[in-house]
Amino acid sequence: MIPAGAGSADVSEISDWFMSSRPPIAYSDFRRVMDVALKYNIQDIISEARHRLSEVFQTDSLDDWCVELDPEGDRTPLQISYFDYIDALRLSRLLGMHSITPLLFYVCCNLSPFEKIVDGVQLAGIPEPVTLSQDDLRTCLRGRARLIQESSRIMKAFQELAFDERGRPSACKTPQHCSEALQALSLAVVDAQCFSEPSAIDPMDRWITRHENTADAKPCRHCGKALRNVVNERREETWCKLGEIFGVEEWPAGEKD
């Protein structure tokens, strides 16, 4: 545990503790370490902090995106949860980690209740509520609206496959059954309000599998694969747009051809 208000006399001890600590480190401790490291410009800690944040907020591929932000399970280098993201966005700016800010904005857009983004949250060891800057709040609100639009695009593609056989695989041998199954899934996803949330890059495979197992909602394997493909294609498109959505040029996925 790092004491609040640690200063220059504690730098060596803090550095030794941080560099030797096994993951995951609690975000409250991580933040206190970073306050000292940034104040005294301790480059080895700053470099390690950048590494740990980049391991949690992985930007190489949508396949690496982990909604729970624990991509390595118990070995994830930072124990970060829920409203810590608001402060982590601030910290990413101080560390110059512009490439991960779109993901931080994304998780902030999906906080619930969303009002906490405006009101601020109380984090352990921090006397004042942590809030977004006015510029970041504006970006977050605009981005949230865009993400909901992207979610609706996924729903539209979902419904087009369900109600238009021309988009189905030619290998399908049970078109009538698959129409009914896909339409049942389409109605279930509307009832679940999956596409009225700003969660356009979150995986849906588990949701689809779970609902396929209900009565008359499992298409043939060809149509089931086509459904997952169309959903994942739209998710990938949104993933590539995150930098543009949140006004960040240094978004790796947006730089790909």
What is the pLDDT at residue 211?
83
- Does the structure show a pLDDT above 80 at 12? no
The rounded distance, in Å, linking the Cα atoms of 15 and 18 is 5
What is the pLDDT at residue 216?
66
pLDDT band per the 50, 70, 90 thresholds, residue 206: confident
Percent of the chain with pLDDT over 70: 93
Contacts of 175 (CB under 8 A, 6+ apart): 165, 168
Secondary structure of 147-172 as H, E, C letters: HHHHHHHHHHHHHHHHHCHHHCCCCC
Cα R_g (the chain), whole angstroms: 22
What is the pLDDT at residue 5?
52
From 64, 126, 56, select the one nearest 85 (Cα to Cα): 56
What is the pLDDT at residue 1?
47
What is the pLDDT at residue 215?
57
Among 50-59, 93-102, 148-157, 247-256, the minimum mean pLDDT is found in: 247-256
More confident residue, 235 or 69: 235
Mean pLDDT rounded to a whole number for the chain: 86
pTM value surpassing 0.85:
yes
- Does the structure show a pLDDT above 80 at 43? yes
What is the pLDDT at residue 257?
45
- Does the structure show a pLDDT above 90 at 221? yes
Mean per-residue pLDDT, 145-166: 90
From 193, 200, 257, select the one nearest 231 (Cα to Cα): 200
Mean per-residue pLDDT, 123-136: 84
- Does the structure show a pLDDT above 70 at 63? yes
Mean per-residue pLDDT, 193-213: 85
What is the pLDDT at residue 6?
53
More confident residue, 89 or 5: 89
**Category of 82 on φ-ψ map: left (φ > 0), alpha (ψ -120 to 50) or beta:** left
pLDDT band per the 50, 70, 90 thresholds, residue 189: confident
What is the pLDDT at residue 100?
95
More confident residue, 41 or 74: 41
Mean per-residue pLDDT, 219-225: 94
What is the pLDDT at residue 95?
94
Task: Report how far Cα 34 is from the mean position of its chain's Cα atoms.
Answer: 23
More confident residue, 5 or 198: 198
